[in-house]
Structure 1
């Protein structure tokens, strides 16, 4: 009988407006971790902007930072409403002139593009994981939107990498060996 009562209680909690449903521990951990990483990426990309000489890459990074700041606002709101403490935010990085950074201490544009490509890939995996573990539809939808945006940024950066000659592909399989006739 107690199991039936527990089942009714859970169904009552989970059948209401998703925003009134409690977050489970997996959702809290995934969303909190995503927010913490996003804050770090913003600080890192602001630094990359200072090191970037390529105007297309610089514009891409500026757009990416703006998008991540919007995501951060949405995720902070979600966590605050659910009574979850927020991870610390690194300080905003100041703007610097590329010429003021010694050549040997600069990140190169191809290095920056490769690092951001890796980050986008990791972000896609993180969003997918949060979507997969979410039982709240609003959280799944939010991270579905983040995933779509990251995929679009990934394609945009891939084009930049190809156009600039920064993409280093693995060995390409261009010839098919003849099949041995047995």
Structure 2
């Protein structure tokens, strides 16, 4: 029986897996803090709900990935401090991040997370790591659909130029 057979949790992580998980965790921690800041700036109630969901999901990812790294004897990246709640009215209008900008950032971070999850799944040789990122990918895809729907409903979606076939000349 080889080193890479049996229970995947007993297999060592390869350097690529270590770096990918550590990097994803670092980003997840930063996004939780960033979304907490965006929550302070958001005025739209539907956007606030999505930000709350993103924060909760991010915190779950952090917990799961910290556990994985600890089990494998890998040091953890630093965690940004929790952001305090602020009153939207206390933030000067010119300093506020607008709802449309927050929603665009949420869509972008979700898309980036999908790509990162796919990359990690493809590079993993440990099935448990690939499965973790498969689950995170599925959650992000579902969340991304909610963000897209909100952006469309609120009129915040900025489309690139739309191509239309010109068959009628």
Shorter-chain TM-score tier: over 0.9
Of 145, 156, 166, the match for 1:176: 166
Deviation at 1:178, TM superposition (A): 5.5
User: Which ranges of structure 1 fall in alignment gaps of 5 or more residues?
Assistant: 1-10
Of 14, 20, 23, the match for 1:30: 20
Write out the 4+ residue segments of structure 1 that deviate beyond 3 Å after TM superposition. Answer: none
Deviation at 1:116, TM superposition (A): 1.1
- Structure 2 equivalent of residue 18 of structure 1: 8
**TM-score, normalised relative to structure 1:** 0.90
Distance 1:71 1:42 in 2: 10
Deviation at 1:128, TM superposition (A): 0.6
The yes-or-no answer on 1:142 pairing with 2:135 is no
Of 101, 109, 115, the match for 1:119: 109
- Structure 1 equivalent of residue 35 of structure 2: 45
Render the CA deviation track for 1:25-77: whole Å, top value 9, x for unaligned. 00000000000000000000000000000000000000110011011100000
> Which structure would you say has the larger Rg?
1
SS in 2 for 1:12: coil
**TM-score, normalised relative to structure 2:** 0.97
Distance 1:153 1:24 in 2: 30
Q: What's the RMSD between the two structures over aligned residues?
A: 1.1
Of 65, 72, 80, the match for 1:82: 72
Deviation at 1:150, TM superposition (A): 0.5
State how many pairs are aligned: 169
- Structure 2 equivalent of residue 159 of structure 1: 149
User: Which ranges of structure 2 fall in alignment gaps of 5 or more residues?
Assistant: none
Render the CA deviation track for 1:71-126: whole Å, top value 9, x for unaligned. 11000000000000000000000000100000000000000001111111111111
Distance 1:62 1:108 in 2: 17
Distance 2:168 2:150 in 1: 36
Deviation at 1:177, TM superposition (A): 3.6
